[in-house]
Structure 1
Amino acid sequence: MTAGSLAALVALGAFHGLNPGMGWLFAVARGLQERDRSRVLQSLPAIAAGHAASVGAVAILVGLTRSVVTTRAIAVGGGAALVAFGLWRLLSRRHFRWVGMKISLWQLAAWSFLMSSAHGAGLMLLPVLTGAPAPPGHDHGLTAGLSAGLFVTGVHTLAMFATAGTIAVLVYEVVGLTILRRAWLNMDRLWAAALIGAGTTTLLTA
């Protein structure tokens, strides 16, 4: 993997961590609900695990199916899905609502997986995943593809976790939830535009 690809993984992870829809807002809400910062910190690994599962499913699938035809099909199909999903998010007036219910860490991880999948988190890595050269040899290729998928997932999730964790603690300690409604709307539109941009890049380079 090139330095540029690695930097892209970290940047995308940081971008996902910045997005309140990826979980840091829910971590802050849990902390404020119980007036306990430890609830914020406990929530973050569960959120990261759910995000990693969503991203890893795409990364490993691409890593294991590295034939030229399959890679191109995934790139074209994934790029089209990115653009379509981004347009839907950009034009949709529906937004996820934050509620006051209490949930377990397992439920939070499952929620994070579904939220990340709904936002197309794994799909955004397609330009990096499909741009990497295919490893030679069938058996070696499968092992290398699996390792590459796990590596990509790990680097991306670590960047997401560090960014989301920093923001969650700062917001909990300093800002609170009262002024975040407008910021959520802005991030939602920015996220949709990023999806469209990533999809267009994937289609152009497929």
Structure 2
Amino acid sequence: MSIGLWLAVEPIYLFIDRLLGSINLANLISHFCINFVFLAAGVQIAHSIGRCDIATKIRRFSAVGLPLCVALMTVLFFAADLSYSSMGLDDFRDTDTAVVLYKLSMYVYPSVVSAMLVNPLLKANTGSVYRVPFYSKKLMAFGFAFGKISPMGHLVELSNRQLDWLTDLIVYPAMVCVLAGVTLGWISALLTHRRELQPSPRLHHQKVS
């Protein structure tokens, strides 16, 4: 995941891509990372809500689906005419259909994993004394619902290049909701852990007596 985050920083992206020949291989690597993050995160989130069956389902699908999606991305990447470094490949999207298809292929695997997680997260009602896990799961469900339809943005873009902003309208709310849900869950777990470590006032009184 850290590799994908570092490659989202433009100076680092351009530096790494120059080392790789200035053909945007850094973009392909970042797309690989995103797909593998969805595998790891999807399994972890499924376990966190007690749905080992969903985690197993994600693993089984990934055994075939992930290599196929990676292969599809690779083929479309090299089919595109990428003559110089361009973070996000935005310079090529208006003129090269292969670039749009390549970017579309990046969302195929995440959309399937997202689809597997939406309903289990919506149905997960287990909460804590702070009730944050309940809301964090609903936020993640909302985010993954956006992730489920993420390929639609580029599909629309194929028919009308002026609608290239639609993908951002889908992807960014998905990212914000999922990250917010994970963060709230982490905060809740931290607060719960601290509360468990605090000695009971009654027990403390007995020790003093």
The alignment's TM-score, normalised by the length of structure 2, stands at 0.28
The alignment's TM-score, normalised by the length of structure 1, stands at 0.29
User: Larger relative CO (CA 8 A, sep 6+): 1 or 2?
Assistant: 1
